[in-house]
Structure 1
Amino acid sequence: MSTALVRTAPGVERAAHRDPNVLRWLGGFTSSAIGDNVYYLALSWAAVQSGTPAQAGLVTAVSAVPRALLMLGGGVVADRYGPRRVVLGSTGVRCALVLTAAVLLLATSPGLWALGAVAVLFGIVDAVFLPAAGALPARIADRGQLTRVQGLRGLATRLATVLGGPLGGLGVVLGGTAGAFGLAALLIGVSLPLLQTVRMGELPPDDAVTARPGVLAELRDGLRHIRHDRVLLPLVAAIALSDLGFVGPMNLGLTLLSEERGWGSSGMGLVLAGFGVGAGAASLLLAWRGRVPHAGRVLAVATIGGAVAIAALARVPSVAAAAGVALCIGLLGGLGGALSGALVQARAGAAYLGRVTAVSTLVSFGVAPLTFPLVGWSVELWGTGPVFAACAALCGLSGLLALTAKPLRRAELPR
């Protein structure tokens, strides 16, 4: 099966950072990502005001459940109706949900049940949105620009993380929790007109979906596509192992580590800043470089290096040293993550992009957040050092898999 995309406009390949079509997508993606960060801050703030910290944690985590259960079906929807159409529709629904939450907060004092319902509905829509959003970049840029597009996407994600918190806090200060939800709805809504102007490449004739045998049959077809590809199968497995090992320590684990060492919120902020600088540097490098030779080998080495750094993070004695280690984690993790995404999009058949994206991101967005209680319980029993080491071992297994699977180790990105 051919994996090449047919461009709607013929001509010489244009660098992604100079392509107006890619830049319009990037603007819409960035606005939506910032809105997501503001939404999650507003949701957690509203939940804390309405209940105990444990109840607030449950409300903010509950959206991961429908994502985990429904994301594979969301990949089928993205492939069946096209990622652009699905992104536009789901973005509109997400905007309406957040705006509804703002109106509820203005009109009344909704309890935890109402906030939990908003979170669950947002998670359901996310299960459709995320596979489509992941599949869209490969349909709007030339194949030789996939690495650069992933670098640009990484920069947008880092920018959203940096700006989301302060903007959410500003929304709370100026308009209360309702104001923060309203700002999130505005930012998500702003992405719609930008995404509507994005042109999408057509599917090659041999990749076009002509039959619709049913969601389950299409899902099985997508899984079969992954299983029969000598690069995709180990790549998806490596991504799953890496995400399982990475998400726990770099989210809840880092908070618990800061508390154990007495670093406080300011120390944790410095460590997170180090990680953000490293990840941003990796994204900037890829956006500038455009292509990394020996992508499979670089992915494996970066993942193993990142695993060693995660284990070391729980052993360093000071905040400054932890920030330096976190910078290495961000640099290596950002490089490995972007290369993984580019290889997924390069290897997946054009008609399977949504389903392959759903499978490859299922652990990160759906399963890994559900392991937070296990991480917290394990830290209580054994402390941060052994837990970080165990998570690092999972990341290390991911790198070893990439290194020992010969087709993946020799995988190259298109020129």
Structure 2
Amino acid sequence: MTATLIPPVHAAADKPAHRDSNVLRWLGAYTASMVGDNVYYLALSWAAVQAGTPSQAGLVMAVSAVPRALLMLGGGVVADRFGPRRVVIGSDAVRCAAVLTVAALLFAASPGLWLLALLAVLFGTVDAVFMPAVGALPARVTGRDQLARVQGMRGLAIRFANVVGAPLGGLGVALGGAAAAFGLAGLLIAVSVPLLVSVRMRDLPTDVRTDVRTDLPTDVPTDVPTDVPTDVEVGGEAGGEAGPHPMGAAQDTASRATPWQDLRDGLRYIRGHRVLAPLLVAIALGDLGFVGPLNVGLTLLAEQRGWGASGMGWVLSGFGAGAGVAALLLTVRGRLPHAGRVAAASILAGSVAIGALAYAPSLVAAVGTALLVGLLAGLSGALCGALLQTQADPAYLGRVSSVAGIVSLGFAPLSMPLSAAAIGWWGTGPVFVTSATVCGLGGVVVLCSGPLRRAQLPR
């Protein structure tokens, strides 16, 4: 196979990501889009509550998850086939148009829940291609040695969007109702489109031939792929457009590949990769053990302890602050040595902190524990994301990101109703400890996989 690989990047040839105007334009686009998403979800929730019963509103909020979970694997194929930049621009344009259309209809009339449900389904469908493309895009805008720093910058953008999005949405609702909030969300998403158009893509060489090798040492530099299938040729992307390919026969093979073949090829690539396969298992276990306690479980814990909504808010703030510190650390440092081992240690220590949260003797102790959970979970999450970015062949990053997204957005949310029911049967303590054990198994997977445990981020 001829794989589309980013050429080796030398530190002297590239600016640090946080000083690179090209990366900063991408970050600005990503931040605007994420803030718009937060405003959109608040507007959708408010409009649904106003138009129907609480149960109907909950259904509207949940309906977008269905197409996202069902179609995300296909979205990864789309991102790899057409290029992540092109897919992200198109997705943001469609999302912007849909939200602004609903805002205009709400200004003119009161169409009811059916319009909100239709918007939720459309948003979820577009998200199914948007999210894998977002995961694949950083590798096209910066060098491999800067991808860990970009993960930290991305984490800071997410924290910023979470903090700013809800107040902006509330302001929009206060000034003009749900229609104004939807309009604000659409305008914020629209800001990302010209920024993304201005982002330059790196040329990916198309004349590097690699073979499947399973006998190489596990500390081989990540510039050299060792687990790439040899039956598909993938064209490069420069500025979002495929360039001419000097090896015509192989290019013809790629053009004849069907989307289904691309999907199967991507899954084979992941399954046969000595680092990515266990890494995705570790990510899945971490999400399954983390989502329930930090969503439903924390609400029930605050109610049982008498902390109230304000107390729960302080605990969530502690978690957000810890995660922000971890993202800032990776942004400033750019690279942490022994990434695999540090990720495993962070997962295991973070799982202990999750279990301890249920037994915090006071609100102050709970906030401190949540700060530690956020710091460790943020660190392990950023490192796992950076390893995923640097270990995956860029030609497969859309499909790799889609598998990671399926786990986080498809399977992990299923733990929330199970956590709530289990807490009703056994109480918060045993459920938090069980969830922490599941999360800790992700660290065990990292330690038990030699290639993943020894994995390093590129210099």
Please state which band the TM-score falls in when normalised by the shorter chain: over 0.9
Residue 236 (structure 1) aligns with? 280
Greater Rg by CA:
2
Q: What is residue 5 of structure 1 aligned with on the other side? A: 6
**Residue pair 1:8, 1:202 contacting (<8 A) in 2 also:** no
Q: Encode CA deviations 1:176-220: one digit per residue, 9 max, x unaligned.
A: 111111111111111111111011112221473431411111011
8 Å Cα contact 2:340/2:455 also seen in 1: yes
In structure 2, distance between residues paired with 1:262 and 1:15: 47
**1:109 aligns to what?**
110
In structure 2, what residue type is equivalent to 1:130?
M
Deviation at 1:139, TM superposition (A): 1.0
Corresponding position of 1:75: 76
Instruction: State the TM-score, normalized to the length of structure 2.
Output: 0.87
1:323-334 equivalences in 2 (<5 Å): 323-334=367-378
Alignment of 1:142-221 (within 5 A): 142-205=143-206, 206=208, 208-209=234-235, 210=251, 211-212=254-255, 213-221=257-265
Which deviates the most, 402-411 or 365-374?
365-374
Matched with 1:322 is 366
Match of 2:85 in 1: 84
What is the CA–CA distance in structure 2 between the aligned matches of 1:54 and 1:346, rounded to whole Å?
43
Map 1:212-291 onto structure 2 (within 5 A). 212=255, 213-291=257-335
Instruction: Give the drift of 1:367.
Output: 2.3
Cα distance change on mapping 1:373 and 1:104 into 2, 3 Å? farther
Partner of 2:136: 135
Residue type at the aligned position of 1:36:
D
Partner AA of 1:208 in structure 2: V
Contact 2:69 2:409 in 1 (8 A): yes
Contact 1:61–1:370, Cα closer than 8 Å, also in 2 = no
CA contact (8 A) 1:303 1:333 kept: yes
Offset, 1:406: 0.8
Q: How much has 1:97 moved relative to structure 2?
A: 1.5
Is residue 4–residue 143 contact of structure 1 (8 Å, CA) maintained in 2? no
Matched residues in 1 for 2:263 and 2:3: separation? 20
Equivalent residues of 1:64, 1:370 under 8 A apart? no
1:122-161 CA deviation, whole Å, 9 max, x = no partner?
0000000000001101111110011100000000000000
Q: For 1:245 and 1:57, locate their aligned partners in 2 and report how far apart those are by CA, in whole Å.
A: 23
SS of the equivalent of 1:412 reads coil
Q: TM-score, normalised by structure 1?
A: 0.96
Q: Following TM superposition, by how much is the alpha carbon of 1:3 offset from its aligned partner in structure 2, in angstroms?
A: 7.2
Take 2:95 and 2:170, find their aligned partners in 1: how far apart are those partners?
21
Aligned to 1:248, the other structure's residue is in SS state helix
Report the more deviating stretch, 257-266 or 171-180.
257-266
Distance 1:9 1:32, change over 3 A: farther
| Contact persistence 2:341–2:453 (CA under 8 A) | yes
Aligned equivalents of 1:79, 1:392: Cα separation in 2: 35
Partner of 2:50: 49
Instruction: Give the structure with the higher percent helix.
Output: 1
Residue type at the aligned position of 2:76: G
Choose 260-269 or 28-37, whichever is displaced more. Answer: 260-269
Structure 1 contact 61–369 (Cα < 8 Å) conserved: no
Whole-Å separation in 2 of the counterparts to 1:54 and 1:372? 17
| Distance in structure 2 (CA, Å) of the matches to 1:344 and 1:88 | 23
Match of 2:248 in 1: none
- After TM superposition, the structure 1 stretch with the greater mean CA deviation from structure 2, 99-108 or 339-348, is 99-108
What is the RMSD of the two structures over their aligned residues, measured on CA atoms? 1.8
Contact 1:278–1:327 (CA<8 Å) still a contact in 2?
A: yes
Contact 1:348 1:356 in 2 (8 A): yes
TM-aligned CA deviation for residue 10 of structure 1? 11
List aligned pairs for 1:331-346, cutoff 5 A. 331-346=375-390
Identity fraction in percent: 65
CA distance in 2, matches of 1:248, 1:406: 30
Residue by residue, what CA displacement relative to the aligned partner does 1:15-52 show, whole Å, maximum 9, x if unpaired?
00011100000000001000001111111111122223
Structure 2 residue 31 is matched with structure 1 residue 30: yes
Which amino acid letter does the alignment assign opposite residue 243 of structure 1?
A: D
Distance 1:203 1:3, change over 3 A: closer
CA deviation map 1:359-411 (0-9, x unaligned) = 12211122222432222222222222222222111110001101111110000
Shift of 1:109: 2.0
The one-letter code sitting in structure 2 at the alignment partner of 1:278 is G
| Bigger shift: residues 73-82 or 321-330 | 321-330
Aligned to 1:389: 433
